[in-house]
């Protein structure tokens, strides 16, 4: 049997960029892109807007706002127990596959489980879902209502248990571009008017991951999804997969039609929001993060790609009088790279600022790190 082809780190980088539509912006509806990406990290409500702007030709924020307002896309807890923007269909279909992930996250990764020892969690889930079927509630309101029945328990822990265990959605205006609001929740089924359905078999989800993020290893799949027993999933799928090796002889898996561009394909500068899944979906992030930046990337700040790798951070500060884009490279840039970064940053400034007149827009190279601020303010 011939040995599996070896893919270099650069080849894996260009494959990832192509599948993420970061080598060239795609001409497709935003809804189709959200589906292709198998959801988009959205714990910061505006993150998907910047992520889509960098991936779609001519993207306008109102397109995603319409999807959310029309209930064709929702923000709900999915991968890694975090809030993701997903199409309505994916939110309903993925939840059974990931329910075990959320249950484990509640039991072992949250501080709330130990406060609820002895509570009938099935009864708590049913009570929480019934409340959220009837009306939209904040976390505090939900906890207060639940504490009327479980009077000896911490209301916050009761509410967060429901947030982990019951399919819920953050309703607008939270998640809109120019207008927001406090997090208010409804049950996913009541919001969409359809049941959560489908089996819990993860095979299809893994194939979709490989199409958008592959080629990838067993550890990569687990890092992206937090699924367990991934090796068993791959063993079931192996006959339908392409198999490669990385430069350290690790086994990689891919869908049959996964794009593998020439490793020397030019990669344009791209701006990404905080927590973009491209940087969170592999055990070995060397395919997307410049090794010189390791340990310097902080949360709450966006990143940018130079030659296909995360090479620094950015932050957009907005006031009524001025929009200032701070760009903070962590690696030396050539004159051409600095010019490309400036050009793309100015396009981001123009897009993010909309049609507001009388506002100064400026890009500066400087310190963008601020642990108390998101990238877009």
Question: Which tens digit of pLDDT belongs to each residue from 235-253?
Answer: 999 999 999 999 999 999 9
Minimum mean pLDDT among 42-46, 78-82, 151-155, 349-353: which range?
349-353
Same-domain check for residues 301 and 152: no
pLDDT tens-place string over residues 14-66: 999 999 999 999 999 999 999 999 999 999 999 999 999 999 999 999 999 99
pLDDT at 1: 54
Q: Could you tell me the pLDDT band of residue 149, with boundaries at 50, 70 and 90?
A: very high
Q: How does the average pLDDT of the chain come out, rounded? A: 93
**CB-CB contact of 341 with 335 (8 Å):** no
Of 145, 161, 192, the domain-final residue: 192
Count CB neighbours of 296 within 10 A. Answer: 15
List the domain range (segments joined by +) for residue 315.
Answer: 289-365
Of 166, 192, 218, the domain-final residue: 192
371 belongs to a structural domain? no
Q: Could you tell me the pLDDT band of residue 353, with boundaries at 50, 70 and 90?
A: confident
Same-domain check for residues 297 and 188: no
179 belongs to a structural domain? yes
Q: Which of 88, 64, 65, 62 is nearest to 76 (CA)?
A: 88
Helix axes 88-109, 155-165, angle to 10 degrees: 130
Residue 80 pLDDT exceeds 80: yes
Same-domain check for residues 162 and 26: yes
90 belongs to a structural domain? yes
Same-domain check for residues 177 and 307: no
Q: Which of 218, 210, 105 is nearest to 165 (CA)?
A: 105
Q: Could you tell me the pLDDT band of residue 297, with boundaries at 50, 70 and 90?
A: confident
Same-domain check for residues 183 and 65: yes
Same-domain check for residues 183 and 298: no
Give the rounded percent of residues in the chain with a pLDDT score beyond 70.
95
CA distance 182 to 185: 10
pLDDT at 377: 45
361 belongs to a structural domain? yes
Q: b/e per residue, 108-121, with b = 16+ CB within 10 A?
A: eebebbeebeebeb
DSSP string, 131-167: HHHH--B-HHHHHHHHHTTSTTS-HHHHHHHHHHHS-
Chain-centre distance of CA 341, in angstroms? 23
Q: Could you tell me the pLDDT band of residue 199, with boundaries at 50, 70 and 90?
A: confident
Q: Work out how many domains the chain is built from and give that number.
A: 2
350 belongs to a structural domain? yes
Of 149, 164, 192, the domain-final residue: 192
328 belongs to a structural domain? yes
pLDDT at 180: 85
Q: How confident is the model over 252-265, as a mean pLDDT? A: 98
pLDDT tens-place string over residues 162-191: 999 999 999 999 999 988 899 999 999 999
């Amino acid at each position: 049997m011939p040995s599996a082809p070896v893919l270099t780190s650069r080849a894996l980088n260009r494959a990832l960029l192509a599948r993420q539509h970061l080598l060239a912006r795609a001409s497709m509806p935003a809804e189709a892109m959200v589906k292709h990406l198998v959801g988009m990290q959205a714990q910061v409500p505006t993150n998907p807007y910047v992520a889509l702007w960098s991936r779609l030709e001519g993207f306008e924020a109102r397109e995603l706002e319409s999807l959310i307002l029309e209930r064709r896309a929702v923000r709900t807890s999915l991968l890694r127990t975090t809030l993701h923007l997903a199409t309505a269909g994916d939110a309903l279909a993925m939840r059974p596959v990931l329910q075990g992930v959320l249950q484990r996250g509640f039991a072992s990764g949250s501080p709330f489980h130990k406060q609820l020892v002895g509570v009938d969690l099935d009864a708590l889930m049913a009570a929480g879902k019934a409340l959220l079927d009837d009306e939209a509630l904040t976390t505090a309101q939900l906890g207060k209502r639940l504490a009327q029945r479980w009077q000896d328990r911490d209301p916050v822990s009761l509410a967060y248990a429901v947030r982990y265990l019951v399919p819920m959605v953050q309703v607008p205006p939270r998640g809109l571009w120019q207008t927001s609001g406090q997090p208010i929740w409804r049950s996913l089924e009541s919001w969409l008017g359809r049941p959560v359905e489908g089996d819990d078999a993860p095979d299809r989800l893994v194939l979709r991951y490989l199409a958008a993020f592959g080629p990838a290893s067993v550890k990569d799949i687990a890092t992206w999804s937090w699924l367990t027993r991934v090796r068993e999933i791959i063993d079931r799928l192996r006959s339908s997969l392409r198999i490669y090796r990385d430069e350290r002889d690790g086994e990689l898996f891919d869908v049959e039609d996964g794009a593998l561009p020439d490793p020397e394909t030019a990669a344009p500068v791209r701006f990404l929001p905080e927590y973009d899944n491209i940087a969170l979906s592999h055990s070995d992030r060397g395919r997307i993060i410049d090794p010189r930046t390791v340990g310097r990337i902080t949360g709450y700040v966006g990143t940018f790609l130079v030659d296909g790798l995360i090479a620094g951070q950015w932050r957009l500060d907005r006031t009524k009088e001025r929009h200032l884009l701070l760009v903070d490279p962590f690696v030396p840039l050539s004159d051409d790279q600095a010019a490309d970064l400036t050009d793309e940053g100015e396009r981001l400034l123009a897009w993010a600022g909309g049609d507001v007149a009388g506002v100064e827009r400026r890009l500066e190279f400087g310190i963008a790190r601020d642990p108390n601020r998101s990238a877009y303010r």
